Structure 1
Amino acid sequence: MTQTPRLVATDLDGTLVGRDRTVSPRTVEVLHRLDAAGIVIVLVTGRPIRWLHPVYDQLTVRPIAICANGAATYDPSTDSIVHSTPIEPVTLAEICSRLRATVPGVVFAVERDGGREMRHEEEFPVGPWEVNHESVGPVTHEELLTRPAAKLLVRAGVQQPDEFTALVGACLDGLGEATNSSSSGMVEVSAVGVTKATALARVAREHAVPSAEVVAFGDMPNDLAMLAWAGRGVAMANGHPAVLAAAHDVTTATNEDDGVAVYLESLYRY
C-alpha cells in the first residue's frame, strides 16, 4: 500500500469488540474522526443482523455492515438489506444430506433474512441469550430447508474447529464455502463464492475505492479472504495462527487493548 487508505473494513468480535462485547471509547472516537474526514468505514462480520444493534448503539457513526460472512449487506440508516446472496433450498438440502451421510451426530441451524431470524433443529445448542427469543426457535429438519439461508450452521458435539471445518468443506465439494470464527467447533457455511472478501469488494466498488486503498482488520479464518483481498490486511495480535501468518501486518495490541484504534491512529497520524 503506497497511500493512505480511503476505506477501513473491520471485523467485530475479537477485533473491534472486546470479550465483554463493548467497543472502547478510544475506538469509538477514532471511527468518528475517520468518518468526519470522509474515510469509508465498513463493518464486516460473521454476526447476523440481530446481533449488530448492540454495536451500533455504542458508536457515533452508522456504517454499512457486511454480515453473515458476506451473505448480506445491511444499511442501518434504512434498516434494510441492500444485497443478499443466500444458499437456496435445493442446495441447502443437498449440503445437509451429504453431511448427514458423513458426520455422526451432525445437527443444523440456519440464519435467514441476513440473520434477522434463526431456526434450528431441536438438538442444536443455542446461546442462553437467544432461548425463547421471538426470532430464534426450533423447527423440524424439513422446515429448516424450506427457505433460503444466509448461513448454514453445523455442529457435531465437541470438535477441533479447523479440522472440523476441513471435513465439512470436503463434504461440500463446490456447493458452498465452509469457515469458522470461534473455538466452539461450529462451522459456518455460505453460498458458493460468498466470503467477506466478495461482499467487501462489492461495497468498495460502489464507493469507487480499489482494493489497494483498503485496510482491513480481522482475527479468525473467516477473515482470511478479506485480508488477502485488501491492499493492507491487518491481523490482530490475538489472531488465529493462520491469520497471523497470512496478513500483511499485525497490530501491536490485542482487541482488549484497542488494537484497531492504536493502528488507525498511527496510520492516519492522529
Structure 2
Amino acid sequence: MRLIASDIDGTILGHDGLISQRTVEAFAGAAAAGVDIVFVTGRPPRWLDPIREQIGHTGTVICSNGAVSYDLATEEVTASHVLDWDTVAQVRAIVTELAPEPYFALESLTGFHVEDGFFGNRTAGAGLVPGALTPGMADGGIIKMLAILHSGNADEFLNLVRPGVASLMTVTHSAPDMALLEMGPLGVNKAVTLAQYAAARGIDAADVVAFGDMPNDIEMLSWAGAGYAMASGHPDALAAAALQAPRFELDGVAQVIESRLAALRLA
C-alpha cells in the first residue's frame, strides 16, 4: 500500500459535514507510515473545507470527478480539463429533448452558475443568484455541467439520457436522494486523473487502495489494486469493486486502513 485514494461524501464525510475522529486518526497513521494520500471527489475546489479543516490535508485533491487537480497548500489548480460551449449547448438540447423539465448549472474554475429553477424548493447558496447560462461562462473554464429533475431519481435520469450524451460528455452521478447528473469532459473520470497522479509518483495501480460509494467512483474502484466499495454504497459501486469496506456509519474506511497498517507493521 503506497497510495490511498478516497472519495469524500458518503465515504468518509456524513450529511452533518463531519468526519469521525477514528477516520481522521486512520489517515494520520497512514501518512506517518509514508503512505501517499489523495482525495478524489465530485466536489469542486471551492468546496474542500472539510478535508482541509478536519483532516488537515495540504496535498492534492482530485476534484470534479477528475476534471481538476488542486493543491490545497497553495490553493491553486495544477491541471484541468474543460468543456467548450458548443458541447454544453448540444448536451443541453439533447437532455431537454429526452427528459421532462430539466434544469442546468455550470461549475467553472471561476464560479458556480445556475439557471432559474435549478434549486426548485431548496434554498440557493449564499450569494448565489440564478440567471441565464451564457457562452461567456466558458471563458472561466467549465469543468462540470449539472442537470437536475425535480422528480424521479438519479439512476432513472442517468439511464434515460446517457445513451444520447455518452459520445459528447462523461455522465455519472453521486446523488443518493435527488435526480442530479454530473457531466464532464469526455474520457475524464476519477480513475483517469488518479492514474496520472500515481504514475507521476512511480506508483502502480497494484499499490493503490481506493474507497468510494457511488457511480462516479466505479472507474476508480475498478482501476485500483484494492478498490473498496462502502457496504452502505450504491449497488453499482458495490458490483464494480473487488472488495468491500464496512458501512460508512461503522467507520469502514478507518477499519480498512487500520487493518492494512497493522499488516504492514507485521511484514
Q: After TM superposition, is the score higher than 0.5? A: yes
Q: Can you give the 5+ residue segments of structure 2 that lack an aligned partner in the other structure? A: none
Mapped to 1, the partners of 2:122 and 2:99 lie a distance apart of 26
Aligned length: 261
Q: 8 Å contact 2:57–2:72 — kept in the other structure?
A: no
Instruction: Give 3-state SS (helix, strand or coil) of 2:227's partner.
Output: strand
TM-score (norm. length: structure 1): 0.91
Instruction: Select the residue among 231, 253, 257 that pairs with 1:237.
Output: 231
Instruction: Select the residue among 127, 131, 140 that pairs with 2:132.
Output: 140
Q: Who is 2:207 aligned against?
A: 213
Instruction: Give 3-state SS (helix, strand or coil) of 2:79's partner.
Output: strand
Instruction: Give 3-state SS (helix, strand or coil) of 2:160's partner.
Output: helix
Mapped to 1, the partners of 2:121 and 2:244 lie a distance apart of 31
Q: Who is 2:3 aligned against?
A: 7
Q: CA RMSD in A?
A: 1.8
Q: Deviations over 1:126-155 (max 9, x none)?
A: 79675332xx33221335754431110001
Q: Who is 2:257 aligned against?
A: 264
Percent of aligned positions that are identical: 38
Mapped to 2, the partners of 1:257 and 1:224 lie a distance apart of 22
Specify whether residues 77 and 31 from structure 1 end up closer, same or farther in structure 2 by C-alpha distance, changes over 3 A only.
same
Mapped to 1, the partners of 2:39 and 2:100 lie a distance apart of 36
Which one-letter code corresponds to 1:103 in the other structure?
A
- Is 1:161 matched up with 2:157? no
Q: Who is 2:78 aligned against?
A: 82
Which one-letter code corresponds to 2:132 in the other structure?
T
Instruction: Give 3-state SS (helix, strand or coil) of 1:119's partner.
Output: strand
- Is 1:41 matched up with 2:37? yes
Specify whether residues 23 and 127 from structure 1 end up closer, same or farther in structure 2 by C-alpha distance, changes over 3 A only.
farther
TM-score (norm. length: structure 2): 0.92
Instruction: Give 3-state SS (helix, strand or coil) of 2:209's partner.
Output: strand
Q: Who is 2:189 aligned against?
A: 195
Which one-letter code corresponds to 1:164 in the other structure?
F
Mapped to 2, the partners of 1:106 and 1:222 lie a distance apart of 20
Specify whether residues 151 and 70 from structure 1 end up closer, same or farther in structure 2 by C-alpha distance, changes over 3 A only.
same
Q: Who is 1:177 aligned against?
A: 170
Instruction: Give 3-state SS (helix, strand or coil) of 1:9's partner.
Output: strand
Specify whether residues 44 and 129 from structure 1 end up closer, same or farther in structure 2 by C-alpha distance, changes over 3 A only.
farther
Q: Deviations over 1:192-246 (max 9, x none)?
A: 0010001101111111101111010000000000000101110111011111122
Q: 8 Å contact 2:68–2:77 — kept in the other structure?
A: yes
- Is 1:32 matched up with 2:28? yes
Specify whether residues 34 and 70 from structure 1 end up closer, same or farther in structure 2 by C-alpha distance, changes over 3 A only.
same
Displacement after TM superposition at 1:66 (Å)? 0.6
Mapped to 2, the partners of 1:6 and 1:208 lie a distance apart of 10
Specify whether residues 7 and 126 from structure 1 end up closer, same or farther in structure 2 by C-alpha distance, changes over 3 A only.
farther
Mapped to 2, the partners of 1:57 and 1:126 lie a distance apart of 31
Displacement after TM superposition at 1:176 (Å)? 0.5
- Is 1:152 matched up with 2:152? no
Mapped to 1, the partners of 2:131 and 2:123 lie a distance apart of 18
Specify whether residues 122 and 249 from structure 1 end up closer, same or farther in structure 2 by C-alpha distance, changes over 3 A only.
same
Mapped to 1, the partners of 2:24 and 2:124 lie a distance apart of 27
Mapped to 2, the partners of 1:41 and 1:10 lie a distance apart of 8
Mapped to 2, the partners of 1:87 and 1:242 lie a distance apart of 27
Q: Can you give the 5+ residue segments of structure 1 that lack an aligned partner in the other structure? A: none
Q: 8 Å contact 2:65–2:190 — kept in the other structure?
A: yes
- Is 1:58 matched up with 2:54? yes
Mapped to 2, the partners of 1:130 and 1:206 lie a distance apart of 39
Displacement after TM superposition at 1:21 (Å)? 1.4
